[in-house]
């Protein structure tokens, strides 16, 4: 036995890229960094004149160690993406000539102690289909690592980040996943419970008491199942005015996106439109009522395992951003439900919308940092405000 294990959602091993059949290609809308040695390998390869021209023209250095691909100024497509939506580098030279990022996407792997956590990014259409198609797709499983040199595929090495909470990251992850994946209550209630716990754990770390976090987790577990507390949270009514107001303001002011215009009337949140859209969404997914919960759980794995890369951001900061994204996911369900004509269109558009939406949030560390700062500056960063966002 290797002594190392993979921790991953059940769907992970089932993932297969659908290539040119994908309606939301991953080779557009974002610039991908290539390492200098990866570009040099391409430059030394024998290839067609057309591919040679693109290799020489479309890679630009961003620093001494990295290059970036210049996207088409109008379509924002990668210049190596052909008319069949296939990669011309892979088609002509083979997968071994792709960058590490391109080769691994949407798979992410990160290490903490002897655990390699794996998932597929929520920005991938094919992965989203898997997440949404089966109720147990987000059940976490453990598998022994049997391959050699697994660390060569780890993009973010958490062991080397100096943060007091990271020494207990595996235990913290399991604690929160247990809360959020509970099947006997609404996911929104679980998120509020998690916010209360995240606040306490971060306070311990900030006060130099990170070593007592495992003990604190054990003491917090019974509180997470306190019936009186759960009933109190369950009684909270949905506050579309606050959630839509906050999410729309941040997306608009920070990123220039007006994704939820359809849910407003005269510039103000329209509660009736939000409720009507959510009702139609739930009708479309009546045979799969777990869809939103599965999506939210995948976002959680992403943020707690892969975005935790700053000494200046606490566990609670990451939980705050996760909660903001949950509010945005819920609103996107309402928006798609409101504008689409029938159930079939709702199901189709929602998955495509989520893939495009996640690219602006799930794979963007700067977006996360800016959003956390904005929420803090406006004092919207307490567990009470998280409850208003997600309930």
Q: Where do we find the tokens 């949270």?
A: 233
Residues 326 and 360 reside in one and the same domain = yes
- Confidence band, pLDDT 50/70/90 cuts, at residue 160: very low
| 299 neighbors 318 (Cβ within 8 angstroms) | no
- Alpha-carbon distance 327 to 239, whole Å? 11
pLDDT of residue 362: 62
On the question of pLDDT at 81 being above 90, the answer is: yes
pLDDT of residue 166: 72
pLDDT of residue 109: 84
List, for residues 256-303, the tens digit of each pLDDT value. 778 899 999 998 999 999 999 999 999 999 999 999 999 999 999 987
* Nearest Cα to Cα of residue 355 among 41, 53, 25: 25
What average pLDDT does this structure show over 21-45?
A: 91
| 348 neighbors 24 (Cβ within 8 angstroms) | no
Residues 208 and 236 reside in one and the same domain = yes
Mean pLDDT is lowest, of 182-191, 257-266, 272-281, 382-391, for 257-266
pLDDT of residue 302: 84
- Alpha-carbon distance 323 to 303, whole Å? 11
| 168 neighbors 213 (Cβ within 8 angstroms) | yes
On the question of pLDDT at 225 being above 50, the answer is: yes
- Residue 109 DSSP SS3: strand
pLDDT of residue 310: 57
Residue 359 lies inside a defined structural domain of this protein? yes
Which of 86, 104, 122 is the last residue in one of the domains? 104
DSSP secondary structure of 177-201: HHHHT-TTS-HHHHHHHHHHHHHHH
- Confidence band, pLDDT 50/70/90 cuts, at residue 334: very high
Tokens of 381: 């960063």
pLDDT of residue 30: 81
On the question of pLDDT at 123 being above 70, the answer is: yes
| 148 neighbors 102 (Cβ within 8 angstroms) | no
pLDDT of residue 161: 56
Bigger pLDDT: 193 vs 304: 193
Residues 194 and 158 reside in one and the same domain = no
Please report, for residues 147, 193, 300, the alpha-carbon distance to residue 319 in angstroms, rounded to integers and kept in the order given. 33, 11, 8
Residue 20 lies inside a defined structural domain of this protein? no
Domain containing 130 equals: 5-15+105-162
Residues 284 and 204 reside in one and the same domain = yes
pLDDT of residue 3: 83
| 158 neighbors 169 (Cβ within 8 angstroms) | yes
pLDDT of residue 13: 95
- Confidence band, pLDDT 50/70/90 cuts, at residue 157: low
Triad 168, 172, 176: Cα angle to 5°: 175
Residues 116 and 201 reside in one and the same domain = no
On the question of pLDDT at 32 being above 60, the answer is: yes
Which of 162, 178, 205 is the last residue in one of the domains? 162
Residues 155 and 280 reside in one and the same domain = no
- Alpha-carbon distance 329 to 278, whole Å? 11
Residues 243 and 312 reside in one and the same domain = yes
Bigger pLDDT: 31 vs 232: 232
pLDDT of residue 155: 56
Residues 252 and 355 reside in one and the same domain = yes
Which of 114, 133, 162 is the last residue in one of the domains? 162
Reported residue count of the chain is 391
On the question of pLDDT at 87 being above 90, the answer is: yes
Pairing type for strands 115-120 and 140-144 reads unpaired
Tokens of 84: 């069949």
Residues 131 and 178 reside in one and the same domain = no
Pairing type for strands 59-61 and 268-269 reads unpaired
Question: Which residues 6+ apart lie within 8 Å of 170 measured at CB?
Answer: 7, 112, 113, 115
On the question of pLDDT at 185 being above 50, the answer is: yes
Task: Give how many domains the chain has, as a whole number.
Answer: 3
Residues 155 and 170 reside in one and the same domain = no
């Amino acid at each position: 036995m290797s002594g190392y294990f993979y921790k991953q959602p059940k769907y992970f091993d089932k993932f297969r890229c659908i290539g040119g059949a994908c309606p939301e290609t991953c080779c557009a809308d974002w610039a991908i960094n290539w390492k200098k040695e990866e570009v040099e390998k391409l430059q030394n390869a024998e290839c067609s004149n057309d591919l040679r021209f693109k290799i020489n023209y479309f890679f630009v250095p961003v620093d001494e160690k990295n290059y970036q691909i210049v996207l088409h100024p109008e379509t924002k497509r990668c210049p190596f993406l052909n008319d069949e939506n296939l990669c011309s580098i892979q088609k002509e030279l083979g997968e071994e000539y792709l960058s590490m990022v391109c080769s691994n996407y949407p798979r992410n792997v990160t290490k903490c102690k002897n655990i390699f956590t794996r998932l597929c990014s929520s920005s991938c259409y094919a992965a989203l289909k898997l997440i949404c198609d089966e109720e147990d797709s987000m059940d976490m499983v453990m598998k022994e690592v049997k391959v050699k040199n697994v660390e060569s595929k780890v993009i973010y090495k958490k062991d080397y980040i100096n943060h007091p909470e990271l020494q207990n990251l595996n235990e913290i992850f399991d604690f929160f996943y247990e809360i959020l994946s509970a099947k006997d209550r609404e996911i929104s209630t679980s998120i509020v419970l998690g916010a209360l716990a995240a606040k306490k754990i971060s306070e311990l770390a900030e006060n130099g008491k990170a070593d007592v976090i495992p003990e604190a987790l054990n003491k917090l577990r019974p509180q997470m199942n306190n019936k009186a507390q759960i009933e109190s949270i369950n009684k909270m009514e949905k506050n579309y005015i606050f959630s839509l107001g906050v999410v729309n303001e941040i997306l608009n002011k920070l990123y220039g996106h007006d994704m939820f215009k359809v849910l407003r009337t005269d510039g103000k949140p329209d509660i009736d439109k939000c409720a009507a859209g959510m009702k139609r969404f739930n009708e479309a997914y009546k045979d799969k009522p777990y869809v939103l919960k599965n999506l939210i759980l995948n976002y959680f794995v992403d943020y707690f395992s892969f975005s935790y890369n700053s000494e200046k951001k606490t566990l609670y900061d990451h939980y705050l951003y996760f909660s903001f994204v949950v509010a945005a996911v819920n609103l996107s369900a309402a928006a798609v439900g409101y504008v689409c004509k029938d159930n079939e269109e709702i199901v189709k558009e929602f998955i495509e919308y989520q893939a495009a939406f996640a690219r602006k949030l799930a794979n963007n560390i700067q977006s996360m940092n800016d959003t956390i700062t904005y929420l803090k500056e406006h004092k919207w960063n307490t567990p009470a405000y998280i409850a208003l966002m997600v309930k």
